[in-house]
């Protein structure tokens, strides 16, 4: 059996991520805007915010949408990742998530 060659392409991976996150904004725009508003409030109040904190306030995305789509909250919306931490949501199995701050607040 011949081994398959693994193709690595960071630019393509980022493009696919952005396309998927943009599609979420079309499928659940109301939830996404509510989550972004909550993220802004949390970031202003605490200096930073995580997806766990946003989900605690607004709940999971609508049925049929993956909770992974929480990344759309921070994608292209005025946030800058400043670090990482482990998720405290049991369903995430302590996975690594971003810590975000508002770009506009660091002027």
Mean pLDDT on 92-97:
91
| Spatial distance between the Cα atoms of 85 and 2, rounded to a whole number of angstroms | 40
Q: Is the model's pLDDT at 106 over the cut of 60?
A: no
Nearest to 39 by CA among 102, 104, 88: 102
Mean pLDDT on 1-23:
78
Q: Residue 94: its pLDDT value, please?
A: 92
Residue carrying structure tokens 């952005």: 18
Mean pLDDT on 82-92:
93
**Do 33 and 73 meet the contact criterion of CB atoms below 8 Å apart?**
no
Q: Residue 105: its pLDDT value, please?
A: 58
Name the pLDDT band for 1 (thresholds 50, 70, 90). Answer: low
How many CA atoms does the CB half-sphere of 90 hold within 13 Å?
Answer: 0
- DSSP per-residue letters across 44-68: HHHS-EEHHHHHHHH-SPPTTS-GG
Give the tens place of pLDDT for each residue, 16-69: 878 877 777 777 889 999 999 999 999 999 999 999 999 999 999 888 888 778
Q: What is the rounded end-to-end Cα distance, in angstroms, of the chain?
A: 57
């Amino acid at each position: 059996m011949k081994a398959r060659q693994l193709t690595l392409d960071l630019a393509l991976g980022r493009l696919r991520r952005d396309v998927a996150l943009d599609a979420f904004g079309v499928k659940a725009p109301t939830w996404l805007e509510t989550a972004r508003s909550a993220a802004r409030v949390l970031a202003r109040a605490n200096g930073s915010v995580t997806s766990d904190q946003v989900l605690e306030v607004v709940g999971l995305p609508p049925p049929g949408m993956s909770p992974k789509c929480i990344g759309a909250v921070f994608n292209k919306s005025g946030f800058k990742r400043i670090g990482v931490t482990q998720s405290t949501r049991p369903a995430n199995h302590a996975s690594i998530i971003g810590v975000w701050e508002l770009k506009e607040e660091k002027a």
